[in-house]
């Protein structure tokens, strides 16, 4: 069972949900922080990190002694990451999507590949020994996020439960995080901003054809437009987390919000069982 | 010598386009004869990324040795530098004005890009 937690809008509570759902479950669980531009799940789970691995991607290297300036590499690159400039060829590693097209098409064998480091992936164990943990961290100055996310996702536990904390937004990084998951939890808040970005996220998840449901965080603030939208679109509201000072304080100290309320822990357990019912029952852990 | 000038129109009386990579047109003018080629930059204007790189390669292909423009970003500058095209940033007015002033030696070549890249 692989559940991704996404939102559209940032700051709605994805990480809160991921950390607290993970800590509420009785079964073994693996939690992956795929918000590799600013991973923060570790602040709540305090995992012990055991391994650290570079994420690399190929970029072109041009041998000017073999190059005939034919421009085929330049023409095939849709990201303009390689260009024939006068009598030389310039490359732009930060624009390169590592498709390998330039080296494949070069008739002279002048374009070969070398590696560039995009970031790192760390793995470890969570606060309890049977909690697996992994997070990606994109290097400063890099913009190629999906390869780092894919590397984090190589640590999915296909036998047990995996929770994926996705980045905000609806662009490539979010798609990479949600892809091939069994269920998407969309965390929103009952505000106009929350609703606007929720609509975008719902469109994205529908396009990917993944079963999904809502968690409304800070319930009690804002207005009821999110509820009306959920009803109109037949989106199940799986959980409401109240807009409560105690919860905000726990969060701001890096504590789990379930530590302040047994009631919430039970709700997170119920959430998991509700999700299981919504997904193909066969795929769920017993 | 041939110089490239970013332009909003297709003749020498047109106002310059301050942008390089996403300029409407780039005129490549022979400073001796005032004959010129027009690069229609429409495809680049709406490019997703790397407009400056493509424009820089096109300017070099047309044989320009100097580029006069308003703003030149880092990737365009790197490409122009590799191609041996010198850059003058912060130029404005009509294309004709720019050619005239260039011929009087009024411009200093820029040593660095003067706009940030776009992501």
* Total residue length of chain A: 286
Return d(Cα A112, Cα A74) in angstroms, integer. 14
**Structure-block tokens of residue A81:** 């990451």
Specify which residues B58 forms β-bridges with.
none
Domain range A2-46+127-283, CATH architecture: 3-Layer(aba) Sandwich (3.40)
Between CA A173 and CA A45, with CA A128 as vertex, the angle to 5 degrees is 40
Nearest of B2, B1, B10 to residue B94 by alpha carbon? B10
Return d(Cα B111, Cα B113) in angstroms, integer. 7
Q: Which residues of chain B have pLDDT under 50?
A: 119
- The secondary structure of residue A72, as a DSSP letter, is H
> By the 8 A CB rule, do A4 and A185 touch?
yes
**Structure-block tokens of residue B76:** 């365009």
**Structure-block tokens of residue A69:** 């300036």
> By the 8 A CB rule, do A20 and A264 touch?
yes
Per DSSP, helices labelled H in chain B are: 42-45, 51-61, 74-83, 95-103
Contact assignment for B50 to A86 by CB distance below 8 Å: no
A78: chain B residues, CB-CB within 8 Å: 48
Return d(Cα A170, Cα A238) in angstroms, integer. 21
Question: Which ipTM was obtained for this model?
Answer: 0.86
Between CA B65 and CA B72, with CA B71 as vertex, the angle to 5 degrees is 55
B51: chain A residues, CB-CB within 8 Å: 80
pLDDT value of residue A281 = 52
B80 touches A at CB < 8 Å:
yes
**How close, in Å, is residue A92 to chain B by CA atoms?**
8
Return d(Cα B78, Cα A69) in angstroms, integer. 18
Contact assignment for B84 to A83 by CB distance below 8 Å: no
Q: Hunting for tokens 């009785």 — which residue is that?
A: A26
pLDDT value of residue A284 = 53
A159: Cβ–Cβ under 8 A, 6 or more apart, which residues?
none
Contact assignment for B83 to A85 by CB distance below 8 Å: yes
Nearest of B21, B29, B66, B8 to residue B48 by alpha carbon? B21
- The secondary structure of residue B71, as a DSSP letter, is B
> By the 8 A CB rule, do A239 and A268 touch?
yes
Q: What is the pTM of this model?
A: 0.79
Q: Hunting for tokens 């097209």 — which residue is that?
A: A101
Substitution target in B75, B77, B117 with the highest count of A β-carbons within 10 Å is B75
CATH number belonging to domain B2-103: 3.30.420.130
Nearest of A72, A77, A56, A60 to residue A113 by alpha carbon? A60
A232: Cβ–Cβ under 8 A, 6 or more apart, which residues?
none
For chain A, 286 residues long, give each residue's pLDDT as a single digit of tens.
999 999 999 999 999 999 999 999 989 999 999 999 999 999 999 999 999 999 999 999 999 999 999 999 999 998 999 999 999 999 999 889 999 999 999 999 999 999 999 999 999 998 887 899 999 999 998 888 999 999 999 999 999 999 999 999 999 999 999 999 999 999 999 999 999 999 999 999 999 999 999 999 999 999 999 999 999 999 999 999 999 999 999 999 999 999 988 899 999 999 999 999 999 655 554 4
A79 touches B at CB < 8 Å:
yes
Can you give the residue ranges of every domain in chain B? 2-103
pLDDT value of residue B115 = 82
B106 touches A at CB < 8 Å:
no
Specify which residues A215 forms β-bridges with.
A187, A239
A143: chain B residues, CB-CB within 8 Å: 119
Can you give the residue ranges of every domain in chain A? 2-46+127-283, 56-117
CATH number belonging to domain A56-117: 3.30.70.20
| pLDDT, averaged across chain B | 92
pLDDT value of residue A283 = 55
Nearest to A85 among B50, B51, B79 (CB): B79
Q: How many CB atoms lie within 10 A of CB A174?
A: 27
A284 touches B at CB < 8 Å:
no
A143 touches B at CB < 8 Å:
yes
In this chain, the answer to whether the domains covering A2-46+127-283 and A56-117 adopt an identical fold is: no
Contact assignment for B57 to A84 by CB distance below 8 Å: yes
């Amino acid at each position: 069972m692989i559940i991704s937690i996404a939102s559209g809008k940032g700051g709605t509570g994805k990480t809160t949900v991921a950390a607290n759902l993970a800590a509420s479950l009785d079964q073994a669980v693996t939690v992956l922080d795929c918000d590799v531009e600013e991973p923060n799940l570790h602040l709540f789970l305090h995992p012990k990190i055991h391994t650290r691995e570079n994420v690399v991607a190929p970029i072109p290297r041009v041998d000017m002694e073999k190059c005939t300036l034919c421009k085929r590499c330049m023409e095939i690159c849709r990201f303009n990451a390689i260009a024939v400039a006068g009598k030389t060829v310039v490359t732009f590693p930060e624009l390169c999507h590592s498709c390998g097209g330039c080296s494949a098409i070069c008739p002279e064998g002048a374009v070969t590949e070398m590696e560039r480091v995009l970031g790192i992936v760390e793995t470890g164990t969570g606060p309890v020994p049977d909690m697996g943990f992994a997070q990606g961290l994109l290097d400063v100055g890099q913009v190629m996020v999906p390869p780092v996310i894919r590397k984090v996702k190589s640590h999915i536990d296909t036998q047990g439960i995996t929770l994926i904390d996705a980045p905000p937004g609806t662009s490539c990084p979010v798609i990479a995080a949600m892809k091939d998951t069994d269920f998407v939890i969309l965390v929103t808040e009952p505000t106009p901003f929350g609703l606007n970005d929720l609509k975008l996220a719902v469109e994205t998840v529908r396009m990917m054809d993944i079963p999904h449901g809502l968690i409304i965080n800070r319930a009690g603030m804002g207005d009821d437009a999110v509820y009306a939208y959920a009803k109109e679109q037949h989106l199940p509201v799986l959980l409401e987390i109240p807009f409560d000072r105690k919860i905000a304080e726990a969060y701001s100290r890096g504590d789990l919000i379930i530590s302040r309320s047994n009631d919430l822990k039970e709700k997170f357990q119920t959430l998991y069982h509700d999700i299981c019912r919504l997904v193909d029952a066969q795929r769920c852990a017993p | 010598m041939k110089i490239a000038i970013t332009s909003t129109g297709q003749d020498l009386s047109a106002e310059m386009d301050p942008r390089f990579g996403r300029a409407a047109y780039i005129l490549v003018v022979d400073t001796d004869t005032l004959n010129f080629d027009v690069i229609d930059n429409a495809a680049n204007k709406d490019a997703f990324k790397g407009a400056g790189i493509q424009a820089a390669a096109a300017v070099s292909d047309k044989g320009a040795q100097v580029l006069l423009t308003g703003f030149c970003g880092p990737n365009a500058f790197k490409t122009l530098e590799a191609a041996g095209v010198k850059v003058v940033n912060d130029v404005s007015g009509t294309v004709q004005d720019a050619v005239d002033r260039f011929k009087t030696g009024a411009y200093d070549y820029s040593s660095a890009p003067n706009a940030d890249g776009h992501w």
